């Protein structure tokens, strides 16, 4: 059990979302800490319109998971399962932005070893979930706001 827990932390992936890596009609992308470090060494990370040095944040990330579905039923299932997981887990909702046909919810969980930010993006027939894992604080993430 301890080894299993260690492996979750080591890979920087939230296990609950890892299961979508092999699901039909779902695109699963995982970027590890190692790849983030390698990418950061080649060229600095930058966000258009954000003048802050986001390398401070990317250095603290241990992984990014991006789960997307553009198929109506799968997208609805992904949305429902994500919301259920977030409600049952120790996640706090930070924000909800409703705009046109788009709904964005941002959740946060700060653990002793690993913190997680989950961004759930819902559109008419599309759902995308972006999961940021790492040893960052909420303050670090809020530094992305201008």
73 versus 92: smaller Cβ distance to other proteins: 92
Gap between the Cα atoms of 117 and 106, Å rounded: 7
> How many Cα atoms within 13 Å fall on the side-chain side of residue 94?
15
Residue whose pair of structure tokens reads 């932390």 in the numeric block = 9
Q: Does 109 bind other proteins (CB under 8 A)?
A: no
Nearest alpha carbon to residue 89 among 103, 72, 109, 104: 109
Binding marks (x or -) toward other proteins, 14..53, rule CB under 8 A? --------------xxxxx-xxx-xxxxxx-xxxxxx---
Residues 110-139 that bind other proteins (CB under 8 A): 117, 119, 121, 130, 132
Q: Residue 80: CB partners within 8 Å, gap ≥ 6?
A: none
> CB of 74 within 8 A of CB of 25?
yes
Q: In whole angstroms, how close is the CB of 145 to other proteins at the nearest point?
A: 5
6 versus 80: smaller Cβ distance to other proteins: 6
Q: Does 78 bind other proteins (CB under 8 A)?
A: no
Give the interface with other proteins as residue ranges (CB under 8 A). Answer: 2-3, 6, 10-11, 28-32, 34-36, 38-43, 45-50, 54, 57-58, 61, 64, 66, 94-97, 99, 104, 106, 117, 119, 121, 130, 132, 141-142, 144-146
């Amino acid at each position: 059990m301890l080894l299993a827990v260690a492996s979750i932390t080591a890979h920087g992936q939230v296990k609950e979302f890892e299961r979508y890596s092999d699901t039909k009609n779902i695109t699963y992308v995982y970027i590890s800490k190692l790849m983030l470090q390698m990418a950061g060494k080649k060229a600095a990370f930058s966000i258009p319109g954000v003048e802050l040095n986001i390398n401070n944040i990317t250095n603290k990330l241990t992984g990014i998971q991006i789960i997307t579905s553009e198929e109506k039923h799968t997208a609805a299932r992904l949305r429902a399962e994500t919301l259920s997981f977030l409600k049952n887990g120790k996640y706090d909702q930070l924000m909800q932005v409703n705009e046109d046909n788009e709904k964005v919810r941002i959740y946060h969980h700060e653990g002793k070893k690993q913190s997680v930010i989950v961004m759930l993006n819902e559109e008419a027939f599309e759902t995308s979930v972006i999961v940021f894992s790492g040893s960052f604080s909420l303050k670090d993430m809020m530094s992305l706001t201008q």
